[in-house]
Amino acid sequence: MLTPVEQNYFLQEQAQHEASYLAGSTPRQQSGFGRSASDWERFRRPVVEPVHKSGSFLDVGCANGLLMESIVAWTQESGHAVEVFGLDISEELAELARRRLPQWHNRIFVGNALLWEPPARFDFVRTELVYVPPSRRREYIERLLECFVARDGKLIICSYGSSRPEGTRAEPLVDELQDWGIPVARVDDVMSREHGFVITRVVTVEARRPSSPVVQTDVGCTDIVDHPNRRALGE
């Protein structure tokens, strides 16, 4: 359940992203990125560094689906076949992704990941902490680990900052996760060549689910299949 303050938080975030992204004229702008294609790859490619095998990948906050496309291309270069899925809180952005990527129409979902029940668990799940109010961050990460990430899977948490010295910095993330008792498996950064600060931070957390099935968890999800398949996803 969401409080009125939390509901307002999500409504404001959704409205802000819809206004900004839908006004873009290029796929990168429609994914919240205003720089060149080479910069897109430089600043976003670290998201696939933790991908060590073929499997399923859910992009939470998929916007127009550009990162989904990029993930497939980048992981192919490493010899991995990744089946991508997307989730966005905005129906308009999800529909834009479906129009751009009709081959993945049934793999792009609409929902708030703090409440949404996934149809299957995924080998890799990407997200950002800014998607939820600060007071719900720990609950959000624990829910993703319990309800979204497959056994032996990985949760990939990203933070993106400005490349300008006066801009917003990427969040460190590590101390916050460790304060919650969540161990960090690896950290991948993109640094500013000119100024030496972190522009992109990608923190990987490995799944910690028990090997035996769980019927109901303390974060409110029912156990489901570990790997997406066409039947489970209604394809």
**What is the per-residue pLDDT across 82-139, written as a single tens digit (0 to 9) for each?**
999 999 999 999 999 999 999 999 999 999 999 999 999 999 999 999 999 999 999 9
CB contact at 8 A, 66 and 28: yes
Q: Determine the distance from the C-alpha atom of residue 90 to the mean position of all C-alpha atoms in its chain, rounded to a whole number.
A: 14
Judged against a pLDDT cut of 80, whether residue 211 lies above it is answered with no
- pLDDT given at position 210: 55
Q: 122 — phi, psi (to 5°)?
A: -125, 150
d(CA 90, CA 16): 11
> For 148-165, what is each residue's pLDDT tens digit?
999 999 999 999 999 999
> What's the rounded Cα separation, in Å, for the pair 178 and 52?
23
The chain-wide mean pLDDT, for the chain, equals 92
Alpha-carbon torsion, ordered 32, 36, 41, 47, to 10 deg:
-20
Domain boundaries, the chain: 4-206
Which run of H or of E encompasses 228? none
Looking at domain 4-206, its CATH architecture is 3-Layer(aba) Sandwich (3.40)
- Determine the Cα angle at 165 with ends 162 and 169, to 5°: 45
What confidence tens digit (pLDDT) does each residue in 44-94 have?
999 999 999 999 999 999 999 999 999 999 999 999 999 999 999 999 999
Give the model's pLDDT for residue 213: 42
